[in-house]
Amino acid sequence: MADTKYIFVTGGVSSSLGKGIIAASLAKLLQARGFKVTIQKLDPYINIDPGTLNPYEHGECYVTEDGAETDLDLGHYERFLNVNTSQANNVTTGRIYQSVIEKERRGEFLGKTVQVVPHITNEIKERIQILGKNGDYDIVITEIGGTVGDIESLPYIEAVRQLKWELGDDNALVIHLTLVPYLSAAGELKTKPTQHSVKTLMESGIKADILVCRTEHELSDDIRRKLAIFCNVRQEAVIQSIDAPTIYDVPNMMLKEGLDTVTLKKLALPDDSTPNLDRWNQFLQRHKNPKAEVHIGLIGKYVELQDSYKSILESFIHAGAENEVYVNVEYIHSEFINDSTIHNKISHLDGVLVAPGFGERGIEGKIDAVRYARENDLPFLGICLGMQMAVIEFARNVLQLKGANSTEMDPETKHPVIDLMEAQKEVTHKGGTMRLGAWDCELRKDSIIHEVYGVDMIKERHRHRYEYNNKYQEQLENAGMLSTGINPETGLVEIIELKDHPWFVGVQYHPEYKSTVASPHPLFVSFVKAAHEHSVKEKNAKMAQK
C-alpha cells in the first residue's frame, strides 16, 4: 500500500472552469482536518516554463521560494494553504521532453527506441510522485492543465491511468471538473456536455470517481441522479460548484457539498474530524464587511488581462481584509498616461502602485505616474520595474540628470541609474536565467520599511535582470531618496523610499508572491493603511473647506 494518497483533477467541456481553485479548496479542507497536503500543476504546453511567455498568453508568471518560474495556479495553492511550493510543484511538457531527450543522449535507455509510452509517461509518473516520496505529505493533489480530449494532454491522461492502476485501490482517485450549462432558450440545465466529457475520459481508460459540476444554477436532485447514472459515479459524488462572489468562498461551498467527506471515503482515510476553518472565516468576515473603501491605481501595461497581475490583486484582498477596508483597484494603462491625461486618471486616487514588467512600452507613462505620486504626497508602491521607474524619475526631475534611464530601455543613456547586473552580462538564453527566488535583504533602522516588517533581515522573491546602479547611490541619498534595504551578499540596493513623503516605497523584489490568506504581506498591509489614511485626510480637508 502506498504511504501517500494521490488525487488527480482533470477538466472537461471548457477551459477556465477553475480546476486550480477546486484543487486548492479541497486541499484547504483536508489541511483543516489535519492532513499534510500539497498541490502540483501539470501544464501541457511545450515551453520549459512560463518564464518566457507574454502575460497576455498565460497570465502572470509566479515565482517560488526556490526560484522556479511557474504557472499562476501555484499562487492559488500557496495563498490557500500558506505552504510554500517548489520546482517540483509545476511540470510542463517541455520539461518532460527535455529530461527524456537528455537521458537518451546520455545513453540511459540502452539503445531502445524512445517513445511516448513508456518513456514520456514514465517521466510524468516519476514527476508526479516526487512530492509523495519525500515523506512530507499525506496527500498530493495533481491538477492536469487543459481539457480532456486535447492532443497535448493525452500523455498525462495515460500516465494517470497507469499510475492509478499501479497504486492500487484506495490510494488514488480522479476528480473531473466539468460544465453544466444553462440554456436560456430552453430554460434548463443541460447534462449532455458533461456526459460526453466523461465518456472521453473513459475512452482513455480512466473512470471519474468524483464529478465537480460548474454551474450558474442549482443542480436539482433529478439532475444529480441523471449525472450519476450516465457518468457512472455515486450520487453523493456529484458535487455542485456554483458561481461564487469570491474564490475564497469556494472551500466553504465544497465543505457544504461534502467534497472532502467523499474524498476521504474513497481514499479509505479517517473521517473523524471537522475542518477547522475559523481563521479562514474570520478573514472572509472582514473581507465581506469592510468599514471603508480606498481607491488604488494599478499602473501597468498588461491591464487588459487581470491575470497578468493576479498575485497583486489577491494581495490587495488580503491587505484590505486586514485593514477592514475594501480596496477598489483601478486599472490604468501606462501607455495612456501623459501630461494631458494624468490629472484625470490619478488625482482622485488614494494610492498608486506601479507594477512590474519588461521592455520599454509604456515606460514614460509609469514615470509620469511616479512623479505625480511624489509631488502630491500620494502613497506610492513600486514593485520591481516600478521601483526602477521611481529611481529614474527622481534622477531626472530631482537630480536633473537629463536622459537618466535604465540600460534595458536605452543602452546608450548617459546616466544608467538602472543597469544590467554584472552576472547577467554574459547571459544569452532567456529562460530561467534571471535573478530568481528568495534572497536576503538587510533593512535600515529608522525607515518606513523597517517599521513595516519589524525585523532587521527579510527574505523576498526576485525576478529581474536589471538593478539599481550603486554608482548613483550617494547622489540619490543626498537628494532624499534613501536606500533602506540592501542585499548583504551583493551590496545591491533592494528598497528605496523618500525622506520627506508620507509613504513612498519601491522594492526590487515581488512581495505579492508571499501574501496569503493566513499571512497578508506586511508591505501591502502598510500600503493599504497609508492609502486609507490619505483618504480620510482628503475627506476631512474637503469637509473643512465646506
334 labeled part of a ligand binding site: no
384 is catalytic: yes
20 labeled part of a ligand binding site: yes
In 3D space, the residue among 157, 177, 199, 200 whose CA is nearest the CA of residue 259 turns out to be: 177
Contact 502, 534 (CB under 8 A): yes
192 labeled part of a ligand binding site: yes
183 labeled part of a ligand binding site: no
98 labeled part of a ligand binding site: no
191 labeled part of a ligand binding site: yes
19 labeled part of a ligand binding site: yes
266 labeled part of a ligand binding site: no
Q: 122 Cβ partners below 8 Å, 6+ apart? A: none
414 labeled part of a ligand binding site: no
78 labeled part of a ligand binding site: no
274 labeled part of a ligand binding site: no
388 labeled part of a ligand binding site: yes
424 labeled part of a ligand binding site: no
Alpha-carbon torsion, ordered 503, 508, 512, 514, to 10 deg = -110
17 labeled part of a ligand binding site: yes
- Please tell me the distance from the alpha carbon of residue 426 to that of residue 423, in angstroms, as a whole number: 7
75 grid coordinates: 499562487
Alpha carbon 78 to chain centroid distance? 8
DSSP string, 129-145: HHHHHTSS-SEEEEEEP
186 labeled part of a ligand binding site: no
H/E segment holding residue 230: helix 221-231
Strands 5-11 and 172-179: parallel
190 labeled part of a ligand binding site: yes
442 labeled part of a ligand binding site: no
- Please tell me the distance from the alpha carbon of residue 107 to that of residue 103, in angstroms, as a whole number: 6
In 3D space, the residue among 98, 149, 150 whose CA is nearest the CA of residue 119 turns out to be: 98
204 labeled part of a ligand binding site: no
State the amino acid at position 393 in one-letter form: E
73 labeled part of a ligand binding site: yes
Cross-sheet strand order for the sheet of 416-420: 405-406, 416-420, 466-468
Q: 13 Cβ partners below 8 Å, 6+ apart? A: 147, 178, 179, 193, 194, 196, 197
H/E segment holding residue 173: strand 172-179
Catalytic residue of the set 318, 462, 464, 510: 510
Catalytic residue of the set 61, 213, 231, 384: 384
- Please tell me the distance from the alpha carbon of residue 452 to that of residue 16, in angstroms, as a whole number: 37
459 labeled part of a ligand binding site: no
16 labeled part of a ligand binding site: yes
Question: 3-state DSSP call for residue 430?
Answer: coil
64 labeled part of a ligand binding site: no
- Please tell me the distance from the alpha carbon of residue 445 to that of residue 481, in angstroms, as a whole number: 15
231 is catalytic: no
Question: 3-state DSSP call for residue 527?
Answer: helix
- Please tell me the distance from the alpha carbon of residue 288 to that of residue 268, in angstroms, as a whole number: 37
- Asked if residue 118 has a cis previous peptide bond (ω within 30° of 0), the answer is yes
Sign of torsion over alpha carbons 362, 364, 366, 372: negative
Catalytic residue of the set 512, 521, 532, 534: 512
386 labeled part of a ligand binding site: yes
29 labeled part of a ligand binding site: no
Question: 3-state DSSP call for residue 410?
Answer: coil
36 grid coordinates: 499534510
- Report the binding-site residues for Mg(2+): 73, 143
- Report the binding-site residues for L-glutamine: 56, 357, 385-388, 408, 465
- Report the binding-site residues: 15-21, 56, 73, 143, 150-152, 190-195, 226, 244, 357, 385-388, 408, 465
- Report the binding-site residues for ATP: 16-21, 73, 244
- Report the binding-site residues for UTP: 15, 190-195, 226
- Report the binding-site residues for CTP: 15, 150-152, 190-195, 226
- Residues with catalytic function: 384, 510, 512
